[in-house]
Amino acid sequence: MSGIFTRIRAFWAKPRVRIVFWAALTGLLMGVSGAGLPLEDYLRTLRWMSRTQPAGGDIVVVLQDSRTLIELGVNDTTHGNDADAITHLFRAGAKRVYFGRSFSTPGAPQDDAKFLAALKAHRGKVILGAAVDSNGQMGNYAAKIPLPAYREYAGMASVLVKHRPLNLTVKLPYSSGSPVGQIPSISASIAGVTRGPEDLYFPDFSIAVGSYPTLSYIDVIRGRLDPGAVRGKDVLIVPAAVAFNDIHSIPGQELSAPGGYFHAIGADTLRRGIPREYRWFPAYLLVLIVIVSGLGRGRVLDAYRFTGLVAVLGAAPFLLDLVSIQIEVVPAFCVALVAVIRMRTLDRVEEAGETNTGSGLPSVQALRNSTDLSARILVALKIRNYGGIIGSFAEHVEAQLAKEIVRRIRISDESVLIYHEGGMFVWLSSIRSSFDLFENLEGLHRIVQNGIQVGGIDIDLSFNCGIDSEFDRALSSRVASAMQAAEEAVRSDELVCQHDGRKQEAQWEISLLTSLDRAIDNGEVWVAYQPKLDLRSNRITGAEALVRWTHPDRGPIGPDKFIRIAEEFHRIERITRFVINDAVRVAVELERSGYEMTMSVNISAQLLRNAGLPGMISEILAVHGLSPNRLILEITETDRLDRSSRTFQMLQRLVQSGLRLSIDDFGTGNATIDYLRYLPASEVKIDKTFVSSMEGSKEDLLLVQSIIEMAHSLDRVVVAEGVETAQALELLENLGCDLVQGYHVSRPVPFRDFLSFVSGRRARLIG
Complete DSSP assignment for 275-302: -EEEESHHHHHHHHHHHHHTGGGT-S--
> Same domain, yes or no, for 562 and 641?
yes
Final residue belonging to a domain, choices 273, 292, 324: 273
User: CA 156 to CA 150: how far, in whole Å?
Assistant: 9
Which segment of 234-248, 268-282, 421-435, 593-607 scores lowest on mean pLDDT?
421-435
Question: Which tens digits make up the pLDDT trace of 77-95?
Answer: 999 999 999 999 999 999 9
Q: Same domain, yes or no, for 236 and 138?
A: yes
Burial class (CB in 10 A: 0-12, 13-18, 19+), 408: middle
Residue 575 lies in a domain: yes
Instruction: With cut-offs at 50, 70 and 90, classify the pLDDT of residue 185.
Output: very high
Task: Say how far apart CA 205 and CA 208 lie, in whole Å.
Answer: 7
Instruction: Quote the pLDDT of residue 65.
Output: 94
Residue 193 within any structural domain of the chain: yes
Could you read off the pLDDT of 229-260 as tens digits, one per residue?
A: 999 999 999 999 998 999 999 998 989 999 99
The pLDDT of residue 359 is 76
For residues 530 and 546, give the distance between their C-alpha atoms in angstroms, rounded to a whole number: 8
| Together in a domain, 6 and 18 | yes
- Report the C-alpha gap between 322 and 326 in whole angstroms: 9
Task: Annotate 272-306 with b (16+ C-beta within 10 A) or e (fewer).
Answer: eeebeeeebbebbebbbebbeebeeeeebbeeebb
Host H or E run for residue 372: none
Alpha helices in 410-474 (DSSP H): 434-449
234 assigned to some structural domain? yes
The answer, yes or no, to whether residue 455 has pLDDT greater than 90, is: no
Beta strands in 364-433 (DSSP E): 378-383, 418-421, 424-428
CATH of the domain at 461: 3.30.70.270
Domain C-terminal end among 327, 351, 375: 351
Give the C-alpha separation, 547 to 542, whole Å.
17
pLDDT band at 352 (very low <50, low <70, confident <90, very high): low
Determine the pLDDT at residue 395. 63
Average pLDDT over residues 322-335: 87
| pTM (two decimals) | 0.50
Residues 484, 546 within the same domain? no
Secondary structure (DSSP) of 151-188: HTTSEEEE---EEPGGGS-EEEESEEB-TTS-EEBHHH
Total domains in the fold of the chain = 4
Which comes out higher in pLDDT, residue 549 or 601? 601
Q: Which residues contact 545 (CB under 8 A, 6 or more apart)?
A: 527, 528, 529, 579, 580, 582, 583, 586, 599, 600, 601
Does pLDDT of 454 surpass 90?
no
Comparing C-alpha atoms, which of 248, 263, 243, 215 is closest to residue 89?
Answer: 215
Each residue of 699-728: b (16+ CB within 10 Å) or e?
Answer: ebbebbbebbebbeeeebbbbbbbbeeeeb
Number of other CB atoms surrounding residue 615 within 10 Å: 11
Which residues touch 645 (CB under 8 Å, ≥6 apart)?
Answer: none
CA 95 distance to own-chain centroid = 59
| 358, part of any domain | no
Give the Cα separation of 522 and 541 in Å (integer). Answer: 31
Query: Do 259 and 285 belong together in one domain?
Result: no
pLDDT per position as a tens digit, 103-154? 999 989 999 999 999 999 999 999 999 998 877 667 899 999 999 999 999 9
Mapped onto helix, strand or coil, the DSSP state of residue 627 is: coil
Q: Tell me, yes or no, whether 618 and 677 share the same domain.
A: yes
Distance CA 681, CA 668 (A): 17
| pLDDT for residue 434 is more than 50 | yes
pLDDT confidence tier of residue 527, bands split at 50, 70 and 90: very high
More confident residue, 120 or 763: 120
The DSSP annotation for 89-154 comes to HHHTT-SEEEEEEE--S---HHHHHHHHHHHHHTTTSEEEEEB--TTS--SSB--B---HHHHTTS
Confidence of residue 423 (pLDDT cuts 50, 70, 90): confident
428 and 474 both lie in a single domain:
yes
Listed residue (436, 408, 427, 413) closest to 465, CA to CA: 427
Which residues are within 8 A (CB) of 464 and not within 5 positions of it... i.e. 6 or more apart? 381, 382, 384, 486, 489, 490, 493, 494, 495, 496, 497
Alpha-carbon gap, residue 761 to 532, rounded angstroms = 13
Please state, rounded to an integer, the average pLDDT across all residues of the chain.
86
381 and 525 together in one domain: no
List the CATH number of the domain containing 645.
Answer: 3.20.20.450
Q: Which of 17-31, 629-643, 692-706 has the lowest mean pLDDT?
A: 629-643
Q: What is the dihedral of CA 438, 441, 447, 448, to 10 degrees?
A: -140
In this predicted structure, what is the pLDDT of residue 221? 95
* Between 616 and 675, the higher pLDDT residue: 616
C-alpha–C-alpha distance, residues 390 and 392, integer Å: 6
Write down the pLDDT at residue 658.
Answer: 95
More confident residue, 676 or 120: 120
Winning range, highest mean pLDDT, from 390-399, 626-635, 687-696? 626-635
Which residues are CB-contacts of 287 (< 8 A; sequence separation ≥ 6)?
27, 309, 313, 332, 333, 335, 336
Segments in 242-383 forming alpha helices (H): 260-271, 281-293, 303-321, 330-354, 364-368
Query: Residue 370 is part of which domain span?
Result: 364-502
Of 476, 483, 492, 493, nearest in space to 382 by CA: 483
Same domain, 269 and 180: yes
Distance CA 479, CA 569 (A): 16
pLDDT above 90 for 605: no
Tell me the mean pLDDT in the region 585-608.
92
| More confidently predicted of 376 and 567 | 376
pLDDT at residue 580 is higher than 90: yes
Same domain membership, residue 291 and residue 267:
no
Tell me whether residue 14 is in a domain.
yes
Q: Is the model's pLDDT at 212 over the cut of 70?
A: yes
Q: What is the pLDDT of residue 204?
A: 94
Give pLDDT, residue 456: 72
pLDDT in tens, 487-513: 888 887 778 888 766 454 555 565 676
Q: How many CB atoms lie within 10 A of CB 180?
A: 13
Of the pLDDT bands very low, low, confident and very high (cuts 50, 70, 90), residue 753 is very high
Q: Are 318 and 329 in contact (CB under 8 A)?
A: no
Dihedral over Cα of 670, 676, 681, 687: its sign:
positive
Is there a domain that residue 509 lies in?
no
Region 20-28: mean pLDDT is 86
CA neighbor of 724 nearest in space, from 746, 702, 700, 704? 746
Domain boundary among 243, 273, 303: 273
3-state helix, strand, coil in the chain (%, to 5): 50, 20, 30
Residues 150 and 156: beta-carbon distance below 8 Å: no
Between 297 and 630, where is the model more confident? 630
One-letter amino acid at 573 equals: E
The string of pLDDT tens digits covering residues 460-484 is 778 889 999 888 888 888 998 899 8
> 214 in a domain, yes or no?
yes
Dist. CA 497–CA 519, nearest whole Å: 32
Task: Using alpha carbons only, give the angle 757, 760, 761 rounded to the nearest 5 degrees.
Answer: 85
Asked whether 146 and 182 are in contact (CB, 8 A), the reply is: no
| Between residues 438 and 201, the one the model is more confident about | 201
Q: Rounded to an integer, what distance in angstroms lies between the CA atom of residue 418 and that of residue 381? A: 10
Residues 6+ apart with CB under 8 A from 702: none
Which pLDDT tens digit goes with each residue over 260-278?
Answer: 999 999 999 999 999 998 8
On the question of pLDDT at 1 being above 60, the answer is no
642 and 744 belong to one structural domain: yes
Does 309 reside within a domain?
yes
pLDDT at 639 over 50: no
Single-letter code of the amino acid located at 267: A
Task: Give the pLDDT confidence of 728-747 residue by residue, as tens digits.
Answer: 999 999 999 999 999 899 98
Does residue 722 surpass a pLDDT of 80? yes
Instruction: Give me the count of residues in the chain.
Output: 767
Range picked from 28-32, 421-425, 526-530 for highest mean pLDDT: 526-530
pLDDT given for residue 260 in this prediction = 93
719: phi then psi, degrees, rounded to nearest 5: -120, 130
Bridging pattern class, strands 200-201 and 170-173: antiparallel
3-state secondary structure of 739: strand
Which DSSP category does 749 fall into? B
State yes or no: pLDDT of 68 exceeds 90. Answer: yes
Do 732 and 666 fall into the same domain? yes
| CA-atom Rg of the chain in angstroms | 41
Give the per-residue pLDDT at 366.
Answer: 79
* Cα–Cα dist 485/379, whole Å: 10
